[in-house]
Structure 1
Amino acid sequence: MTRLLIVTADDLGLTRGVNAAVRRAHEAGIVTATSLLAVGREFDDAAAMLRDLPTLELGAHLALVGEDPPLLSAREIPTLVDARGALPLSYRTVVRRGLAGRLDPDDVRRELHAQLERVLGVGVPVTHVDTHQHTHLWPTVARVVAELAREAGVPAVRLPGSHSHAPVGLGVRLLSRRTRSALRTAGRATTQDYAGLDEAGHLDAERFRTTLQAAARRGARTLEINTHPAQAGDADLRRFTWDYQWADELAMLLDPTVRDEIAAAGYTLSGFAALTTTDGAA
């Protein structure tokens, strides 16, 4: 039985150092797909790079949170921003607004539609959609993202998950099941298994191996592992307080022994374009 592994590099467009790292991780490493941050400061640099890399699958990394501003004004999306028109920094704010009934799905649709259209405008086929800090785990956002992907003809959507036994992990698994249902209703493909949320920013070679081996033991036929590479010493990343080990993740993606581990676990590197709507049905 063929097992497919998609290795995604998130946050393309965040900085030029991230863009360069993603390119290197694809050309010399194991990255098969990337997710372009529609609100990223270096979006244009990333778009030019993508046009020069037809073998790197492109996804839309839609943002309801983060340090970068939304595409629309505060007047157009009042439930998503503060008085200055800024997005919240954390997914926790999105969850709190959702629980309080203060997250308007029309606002979510307007902003994320604008972001998806910007990524589609790059002129490279878009194979998948995901979200910054996985905010489409929240049901309101999940429905909008699934519908936007269907309307735009984007075939696949990331399904984040967690294998942690901590309270956050339990919550993620509950929301992930609901998100899978929304994707199934919209006829969007996804992977059977996923890793990268629990490991975010700390996916060195050893942790990649253990993560991959655990997925193989679970019998995952299709698996996405999402990563966050950047060049060492990227000064433009200092404005973020995420405590990510960006350069360690890049080193892992370039490590030839990791490619050997993928083969040993029975996986073949692939992309979202190879998925069908039945791959993530479990």
Structure 2
Amino acid sequence: MDRLLTLEMFVAVASEGGFAAAARKLGSSPPAVTRGIAALEARLGTSLFHRSTRAVALTDAGAAFLEQARRILADLAGAERALRGAEAEPRGQLYLTAPVMFGRLHVLPVVGALMAQHRDLAVRMMLIDRDVRIVEEGIDVAVRIGPLADSGLKAVRIGWVRQMLVASPAYLARRGAPVRVADLAGHDLIAAMGPRAAGEWQFVSGRWRVDPRPRLVLNTVDGLLAAAEAGLGIANLLSYQVIKAVDAGRLISLLAAEQPAALPVHLLFEPSRAGLPAVRLFIAEMKARMRMAGLV
């Protein structure tokens, strides 16, 4: 049986959790998928799945092989797309992901301009404040803020952002402004859930343990901003999230001399997608957007 087809069957069974579901996804039959997996296992000389009457689960060897199989299929698909038109007009579906507020402020304007210029381009964008598994979820380009983990993915740095502590003029008039990191212990703190959850805040002078617990914890950046502007306490946010409110005087920057090192903003994607017209153009336009926003 064709090696590529058996790889597609293997990934489908692992993703769908069963032979019948994989067959439906591939437009095949369960017996054909069963034969394909058996042929692949015979060729590799190892079992890839534990089988029972109720479930199918990956063996240790299967789990180790899955990531490689997905990457092989993704690389092949990318090579085919590039060959069909490396210099062609951007067209088809572009899959993006970005943190919610960064996506709304900086990615969406770029997407809107690209769609206006290229009528055959469609975009699917996932705005979410967590790291998405790029290969598994079929993402073309992901925006990542902060240090990157080692991976086989290609990264292009497009800018920098900084941590900023902010509070409203009304709160500071009522409670006073901290002049040292240690002074935060006497203030009401507003903290985030998720990737930047409270616990420790980073400063030039070192990590500061948020203790006692924050008075208010929210799960969205918009909520944190609204709470800070309403005078409910001091919030720890990123520069791109608060710069408009600071410039307008609705929030005041605190302990600026204690700001830690800037965090990089990267575009992350599979190497096989680098030659796609839509990906190339999106990267170029995001670089221009960051320069215009003063985030480089």
Q: TM-score, normalised by structure 2?
A: 0.27
Instruction: Answer with 1 or 2: which has the greater Rg.
Output: 2
Q: TM-score, normalised by structure 1?
A: 0.28
Higher strand share: 2
